[in-house]
Amino acid sequence: MNEEVIFSVKNLSLYYGEKKALNDISIDIYKNKVTAFIGPSGCGKSTFLRCFNRMNDLIENCRVEGEILYKNENILKVNPIYLRTKVGMVFQQPNPFPMSIFNNVTYGLKCQGVRKKDELKEICIESLTKSALYEEVKDRLKDNALALSGGQQQRLCIARCIALSPDVILMDEPTSALDPIATSKIEELIRELKKDYTIVIVTHNMQQATRISDYTAFFMLGDLVEYNTTDEFFSHPKDKRSDDYISGKFS
C-alpha cells in the first residue's frame, strides 16, 4: 500500500460509559481514496467514523483513548470546530436546513465570517457543480431546500460540506434512504469527488462497497477484523469472520 496516509489511527479504544465500543483499533486512511467501513449492526463502524471529526464528543459519557493523527497532529487534541471544517460529514438521512438552497450551501461559510456576496455565490455554484446538482437547481437557488427530492437533498448536503473546502468527507450510509436512481447518482458523485477529497463511507450495502471503494475495513464487535484493498478483501478475505460475513453465513 504505497499511498499517502491522511489519517493514522493508533490503538484507538472508545467507551460509552463502562461499555467498550471500539477495541484497540489501528488503521491508516489513504488520501484521495474511498475507504468503506462494513460490518454487522452494532459493530462500531459508525462510532469509529464519528471519531474522525469528533462527533462523539457530543455524546455524554463517551471516552476515547489512543490517537488519530491528521497531518501529524492528534485530532483528539485540536479544536473540534476547526477539525469539522476540514473533515465534513454526510448522514444517512438528508438533513438540509429549512432555508433556501443558496443559504444551505453558504451557511458554513457565513459562520466562518465570509460576507462578500460574490464570493459566496461563486463558492455556492462551484460546490453545487462539484456535487452534480447545479444544473438541476440553477434556476431556483432561492427556493426552499426542503422542496428538493431525497437524492437532491443528499447532494445538497454534500455541496454544503464541500463549500468549506474540507480534505475529508465522512459519509454514514449516505444512500440507505434513497432509491436506486438517486443512489447511483451519489455513487457516481463519490467516484468523482475522490479526485479532490478523501472519502470514508459506512455502508451496509456490500455491492456498493465493491463498486465505489478502494479500501475496505471490516468491523465486528468493536474490533477491526480485516483491512485491505476492496478487490482483495471481497475476493480473498484473510479472516474467516470476514469470509463468513461477506458470504452471508451470518448476519
Partner 1 sequence: MIYKEELINDLKVKSVQMIELTFKAVKNSIKSLKKVDIEKVNDDEIDKLYVDVEEQALKILLKERTYSKDLRIVTGILKLVDDIERIGDHAEDLAWCSSKLTLVEKHVEINSLNELCDEVLSKIDLTLESYLNEDSELANKNIELDDNVDDLYLKVLDELEIIKDKESNYNLIIYSTLIAKYLERIADHLVNINEWIIYIKNGYYKGRTII
Footprint of partner 1 (CB under 8 A): 206, 210, 231, 234-237, 243, 246-249
Q: Least Å distance between CB 36 and partner 1?
A: 13
C-alpha cell at 176: 440507505
Q: Least Å distance between CB 42 and partner 1?
A: 20
Q: Please, which residue, 52 or 234, has the CB nearer to partner 1?
A: 234
Q: Please, which residue, 73 or 231, has the CB nearer to partner 1?
A: 231
CA dist., res. 236 & res. 172, Å (int): 26
Q: Least Å distance between CB 238 and partner 1?
A: 10
Q: Least Å distance between CB 186 and partner 1?
A: 22
Q: Please, which residue, 70 or 218, has the CB nearer to partner 1?
A: 218
Q: Please, which residue, 63 or 249, has the CB nearer to partner 1?
A: 249
CA dist., res. 179 & res. 238, Å (int): 33
